[in-house]
Chains A and B, each alone.
Chain A
């Protein structure tokens, strides 16, 4: 084999085998029925017929796998995702050994095409919704897509929606919104699995760091320029909590989002030519482009990148801890304290629901970290209201 994890298929023999095996499954099934009748009527032991019936089912399943692989092979050839190699045994077309890996590559190629504006490829992504739970699929999918592809699919969908809306093309807007949401859900589920070290689909710390790098980088799609995190935030927001984003994700990406926003906030936003991107705080791409709920699973309210991040930590206490119970290098306070003191005015743009949910996830457990965070939260809040609720000179509360 020329590459590990790859399988070689020789044509037209593979197609012939698929056809023959499908035919064999059907014949053996009929044999089982006929033989059972003969044996039963003659008062003989029917177990050979019963064993042959089970065999027919196995052969039927093998034939189904062969047909599925054949279909994938055709699609891969269509998308030019295959490569050939030759050995003494003949010329082969290579494809991933596992069917799910092959699906993952195909889905990633469709996602890359969809990011390039291919509507058919976007529609095709729906086929893979059920595969997002399979580790081999997720590994191949994220591996081919890369952190850049993960970032740019939501970015491009946002830009395509803006363009369709500006052109008054309502059919395209509806199409992009519906299929875009499904694509984001698929990608979001894959991302939650692929960034969890406890999940067999884990893509490694390097992938998480690449997500952070792409998150900070500037990207363009059509006329739209955006910061990577604004696009990734649409994936976090599309998440349904099953499985939750991991603690490791919160450590590498989550903490960086908070630090990045504070840096942007402190420096002032760089002059931006794009109206809507020049606001504090950093809105996610749907918010920045005024897409309302078109790409989100929730209602039309605007979200900031930090709101969307806090959506990922509300499902997992350990992730909430990893984010809140951390003091970034060079900071004089924890992320929890920052969110409660420096940032509240930013939450004022979009409401406090997200921070509340993450605070509940992070402070209501019976473990030591939850207890400590709860105490820290109480102290921060007490410090904040001390100014309002001081003692009057007569000793009574003001």
Chain B
């Protein structure tokens, strides 16, 4: 399973990159609405902090996945 050729790995990189692009902004509406004071007060403030942290984590994990796929592609010998 792990022995993909460069072509297959390039396709993996593209699909992972697309998943990352498509979900990069998934939490952005919540972040913008809470930053725009949709909900104020202690519980709202906690929610805002949580959602921003969630968004950072989501992006970190997406970047990590893309990076590891790209690194693997770069490590494969060029057959051509």
**Which residues of A come within 8 Å of B, CB atoms?**
1, 6-10, 13-14, 16-17, 20-21, 24, 27-28, 31, 34-35, 38-45, 48-49, 51-52, 55, 58-59, 62, 65-66, 87, 89-90, 92, 97-98
Contact = CB atoms under 8 A, between A and B. Distances in A.
A21 B27 CA distance: 7
Interface of B: 1-4, 9, 12, 15-16, 19, 22-23, 26-27, 29-30, 33-34, 36-44, 47, 50-51, 54, 57-58, 61-62, 64-65, 68-69, 72
Contact of A7 (B16, B39, B72): B39
Given A9-B39, A10-B39, A13-B38, A42 B54 contact: no
Given A39-B65, A42-B72, A51-B57, A7 B19 contact: no
Contact of A49 (B33, B38, B43, B65): B65
Contact of A24 (B1, B27, B50): B27
Contacts of A51: 57, 61
Contacts of B16: 35, 38-39
A7 B61 contact: no
A135 to B, nearest CB: 16
Contact of A52 (B12, B36, B38, B58): B58
A170 to B, nearest CB: 46
A38 B39 contact: no
B38 A16 contact: yes
Contacts of B1: 40-43
Contacts of B61: 48-49, 51-52, 55
A16 B38 CA distance: 9
B42 A97 contact: yes
B29 A35 contact: no
Contacts of B4: 42-43
